[in-house]
Amino acid sequence: MALPSPTAAPPAQPSYMPPFGMRTLIGCLGMLLAVHVAGFNEHITEIGLSDIRGAMHIGHDEGTWFISTYEAFNIAAMAFTPWFYMTFSIYRFSIFMTAVLALLSIPLPFMPDMISLCFLRAAQGLSAGCLPPVLMTVMLKYLPPPIKVFGIGGYAMSATFGPNLGGPLEALWFEHFGWHWLYWEVIPLSAIAIAMMAYGLPKDPVHLERFMKFNWRGFFIGVPSILCVVTVLYQGDRLDWFRSPIISHLTFWGGALFLGFLFHEWHHHTPFFRLQYWKNRNIAMSMLTLVGVLVICGLMMEVPSTYLAEVRGYRPSQTAPIALMVALPQLIMLPLTAALCNMRSVDCRYLLGIGMSCLGLAAFLGTWLTPDWVRDNFYLLQGLQIVGQPMVVIPVLMLATMSLGPADGPFISGMVNMLKGMANAVAAALFEILLRRREQYHSNMLLDRSGNNATALSGMGNPIENAIQNSSPDSAHVSRNALQIFHTYVHEQSVVLALADIYLVIAVLCAAYVVLAIILPKRVYPPGKGPAPKPAPAPTSVPAAPLSAPAH
């Protein structure tokens, strides 16, 4: 399907395209490392938030703003980054933002109050959000066609490898080096990434004249709208959604601004987003699937860690093997999946269906969750995710990018990365909603059942009180302890049932996406391996000459 032509010609591309070689490859790998550093900074501080709150004397409510402020500016930066790196050049923009990310982490542990801490985290989220869109463009622009799919696999690592490695790294830094290194771990890796990018990335020219046609109105409408929407997703459940005036106002004004931003971008001659791409069935399907896949992966990552922490009392260092089991094999599975997708005989849509089926099977097996499970019981589920995640993410990105030309990269990378960030926010909000609502439901049902059957079971005595009656001569003290133990059992069981319900929701989502993946998108081919052109039909008005006719 042909893409609709924009209202104005796309901006001119740099006239010089360097030949691909080892130097360019090192620059691309440096860009990949910088994106992973930004991901580590996001996930390590999020997973280790309880340790950071304890060390910096931050309350629970303040800690939620610590996360939501970072994520809001991170996602807003993803949306508008392509315009800025096209103006300042990929080389200069990438190095500068990576350096800012690292330098801002130095004073963070010493902030005296929550306002200054959130201000620095917002600036750090802004710099971190600028890197993933650059990586996507680098992989599509600088890699030659035979290995472009492997570049997409490298970009997919930011959605599969990085998030699962955050927990183990948090345990390593906190347990062995101290809580300060939850911030400072980005410094050495950023230095390596900057050196690789400075050596290998092509030095594109600067186009400061683009400021003469800067889309100021779209920028000042779009940034606050995204900040409002992301804040609502992260703070809505804690503030009880629309019972809170803050959430109500942010939802109304943020939603209105966002709709106005989309209308403005549709009609503007130099938009940040080229929304006309959504008329392409493959792009629309891949965008929606990407959001769904990242929501599913986010939920499946949260369930084991929440269960092991809430029910079994595990520390991050004890849950690290669960995350490592998914993260480390991605270094092998992602290249293998990319190699399969790079074969002309392999239809990536079927790989997408197989991968989603693996994730759905893992979620279905998770519905048998009980309070007796330990870390080892999750290994089968994690093994299915090892196979499923790369087989889902890489085909989705192929469906979104393989039908585009080089000039379309900046216009699609902003949308893809903004939706990727929004998917993480939706996953966090959905997990909080489902966990709280289903836990409350099961808790009420268990207590109701206990109250209804209390009279019928009164003759059997209180087994909890009988077990602890020798712990104290005071019968009233024993009764209070027995009641507390009973409510602990009810809470534990209600959390387990709520997490099992979340697994069921994930399984249903996976089944729906399997059907959509087969029905909606058209097949795309790896670069340079498309179908052979059909021969032109012979003209019907002139009879074909016989094979034995002499040449004239």
**278-287: per-residue pLDDT in tens?**
777 777 777 8
In angstroms, the CA 338 to CA 390 distance is 9
Determine what percent of the chain is predicted with pLDDT higher than 70: 84
Say which range, 11-25, 214-228, 250-264, has the weakest mean pLDDT: 11-25
The 8-class DSSP code of residue 328 comes to: T
In angstroms, the CA 363 to CA 503 distance is 5
Neighbouring C-alpha atoms within 13 Å toward the C-beta of 255: 8
Return mean pLDDT, the chain.
Answer: 80
Determine what percent of the chain is predicted with pLDDT higher than 90: 13
For residues 116-132, give the mean pLDDT.
Answer: 89
Reported as type and span, the H/E element at residue 108 is: none
pLDDT at 520: 66
In angstroms, the CA 489 to CA 337 distance is 44
pLDDT at 305: 86
Residue 542 has pLDDT above 50, yes or no: no
Residue 550 has pLDDT above 60, yes or no: no
For residues 69-85, give the mean pLDDT.
Answer: 88
pLDDT tens digits, 402-457 = 666 556 666 677 778 888 888 888 888 899 999 999 998 988 888 887 777 666 55
Residue 185 has pLDDT above 90, yes or no: no
Which residues, including other chains, have CB under 8 Å from residue 275's CB and lie 6 or more apart? 262, 265, 266
More confident of the two residues 509 and 47: 509
pLDDT at 535: 44
User: Which token pair is 76?
Assistant: 């807003």
Whole-Å CA distances, 353 to 204, 299, 328, 527: 40, 19, 23, 22
CA angle, residues 539, 545, 548, in degrees to nearest 5 = 155
For residues 388-392, give the mean pLDDT.
Answer: 86
pLDDT at 64: 83
Give the residue ranges of DSSP H helices in 311-408: 316-327, 330-341, 348-366, 379-401
In angstroms, the CA 118 to CA 131 distance is 20
Q: What is the residue whose two structure tokens read 């931050």?
A: 58
Say if CB 40 and CB 185 are below 8 A apart: yes
pLDDT at 73: 92
pLDDT tens digits, 330-386 = 888 888 888 888 887 877 788 888 888 999 999 999 999 988 898 888 888 888 988
In angstroms, the CA 102 to CA 183 distance is 9
In angstroms, the CA 158 to CA 156 distance is 5
Say which range, 2-11, 164-173, 194-203, 450-459, has the weakest mean pLDDT: 2-11
**Would you tell me how many other CB atoms lie within 10 Å of the CB of residue 243?**
8
The 8-class DSSP code of residue 312 comes to: S
Whole-Å CA distances, 461 to 136, 450, 468, 470: 65, 14, 13, 16
Say if CB 149 and CB 338 are below 8 A apart: yes
Whole-Å CA distances, 304 to 118, 244, 314, 358, 495: 29, 31, 11, 17, 12
pLDDT at 194: 93
pLDDT band of residue 471 (cuts 50, 70, 90) is: low
pLDDT tens digits, 488-502 = 888 889 999 999 999
In angstroms, the CA 42 to CA 421 distance is 12
For residues 238-254, give the mean pLDDT.
Answer: 89
pLDDT band of residue 294 (cuts 50, 70, 90) is: confident
CA 452 from centre of chain: 45
Residue 129 has pLDDT above 70, yes or no: yes
pLDDT band of residue 14 (cuts 50, 70, 90) is: very low
Q: What is the pTM of this model?
A: 0.80
For residues 202-223, give the mean pLDDT.
Answer: 85
pLDDT at 473: 66
Give the residue ranges of DSSP H helices in 57-146: 60-88, 90-104, 114-129, 131-142
pLDDT band of residue 163 (cuts 50, 70, 90) is: confident
pLDDT tens digits, 477-488 = 666 767 777 778
Residue 540 has pLDDT above 50, yes or no: no
Q: What is the residue whose two structure tokens read 């893992």?
A: 362
**Would you tell me how many other CB atoms lie within 10 Å of the CB of residue 475?**
10
